[in-house]
């Protein structure tokens, strides 16, 4: 009983502390100090800086935008490489499907020859022939689906190539203003 009363009292005090105005003030002070440590600049304080002192900031912001554009371009190039890899995988799948269809065609011709020659059990050969035709039809359907995916991927690649060319052209104009190395030219 004494333990329960102590626990209830403790929980009551904790609840009071969390709702206490002093606790809220301490909490907000801690939050602002953590924000000051983790954030680069206090934007409210920077807003007080006169425009005549903001020139270097504007230039640095342009460099940040250029760097972000280069990162976006690099991501697009990676996406393009991934799409090309996917396209190569589809091309491999198509070739493998052609090989499978060729093998099925050979097996089909063999079974047909066995049926015509009257070799083996007729019923078993007919079932095998039917199974081979179904297998070939399924493989051809899979090949058509892969071919469709391949066409979509080729279009995606063309779009990415156009986007990348456009982004590179846009960046070539900004790189003269903001060097890629991240260092600003010496001011006079």
The pLDDT-based confidence of 19 (bands split at 50, 70, 90) is low
Domain assignment of residue 85, given as a range: 63-180
186: left (phi over 0), alpha (psi -120 to 50) or beta: beta
Q: How many domains does the chain have?
A: 1
CA dihedral 96, 102, 103, 106 (to 10 degrees): 180
Residue 24 confidence class, pLDDT cut points 50, 70, 90: low
Closest CA to 90 of 76, 98, 138, 101: 98
Q: Does a structural domain hold residue 30? A: no
Closest to 154 in 3D by CA, of 100, 58, 89: 89
The stretch 174-181 carries a mean pLDDT of 50
pLDDT digits 0-9 by tens, 47-60? 888 989 888 989 99
Whether the full predicted model's pTM is greater than 0.75, yes or no, is no
Instruction: Please indicate, yes or no, if residue 35 is contained in any of the structural domains.
Output: no
For residue 52, the surrounding DSSP H or E stretch is none
The verdict on residue 25 lying in a domain is no
- pLDDT for residue 37: 56
- The alpha carbon of residue 84 and the mean position of all alpha carbons in its chain are separated, in whole angstroms, by 15
Q: pLDDT digit string (tens) for 106-115?
A: 999 999 999 9
Asked whether residue 19 is domain-assigned, the answer is no
């Amino acid at each position: 009983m004494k333990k329960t009363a102590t626990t209830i009292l403790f929980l009551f005090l904790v609840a009071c502390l969390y709702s206490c105005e002093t606790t809220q003030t301490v909490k907000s002070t801690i939050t602002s100090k953590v924000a000051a440590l983790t954030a680069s600049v206090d934007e409210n304080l920077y807003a007080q800086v006169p425009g005549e002192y903001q020139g270097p900031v504007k230039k640095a912001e342009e460099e940040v935008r250029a760097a972000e554009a280069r990162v976006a371009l690099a991501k697009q190039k990676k996406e393009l490489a991934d799409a090309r890899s996917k396209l190569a995988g589809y091309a491999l799948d198509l070739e493998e499907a052609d090989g499978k269809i060729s093998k099925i065609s050979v097996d089909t011709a063999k079974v047909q020859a066995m049926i015509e020659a009257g070799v083996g059990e007729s019923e078993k050969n007919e079932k095998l022939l039917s199974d081979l035709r179904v297998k070939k039809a399924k493989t051809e359907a899979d090949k058509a689906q892969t071919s469709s995916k391949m066409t979509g991927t080729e279009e995606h690649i063309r779009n990415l190539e156009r986007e990348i060319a456009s982004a590179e052209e846009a960046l070539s104009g900004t790189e003269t203003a903001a060097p890629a190395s991240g260092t600003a030219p010496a001011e006079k």
